[in-house]
Structure 1
Amino acid sequence: MKITELRVSVAKTVNLGNYNSIRLEAGATVAIEDGDDLDAVRAEMMTEINTSLHQQWDKFRRGE
């Protein structure tokens, strides 16, 4: 089997209190080249996705 793309997505629901919550989502899809290390690609994707989630949360907290 040849893997040609890798897709990763993460969602987090944060309880805001008073029965309110916010759902943050981020994801990415990348093309896999011959010789790519799937674990390294996945780790890099997770770093980017987690950064995006933190940026979304920071924007929400600032009221943007």
Structure 2
Amino acid sequence: MSAAPPPIPADLLKPPAGWTGPQPATEGAWVDAAWAEKRGRLQCVGQLLTIDEIINPAQAPQ
């Protein structure tokens, strides 16, 4: 019988929002949308790395 997987906090399973505003119409709005998307992608990568650490903890040095 295998052990149950470790619990993953719910906040790590919530997808980042990214850009949620209207379709950008100006250069400034496009910049805001691009930064929002980048922040969302970076947050997502961080969440995935944290989930990986929970599921696959590093082996203790011997």
TM-score (normalised: structure 1): 0.48
Q: Which one scores higher on RCO, CA 8 angstroms, separation ≥ 6?
A: 2
Structure with the higher helix share, 1 or 2: 2
Q: Which has the larger radius of gyration?
A: 2
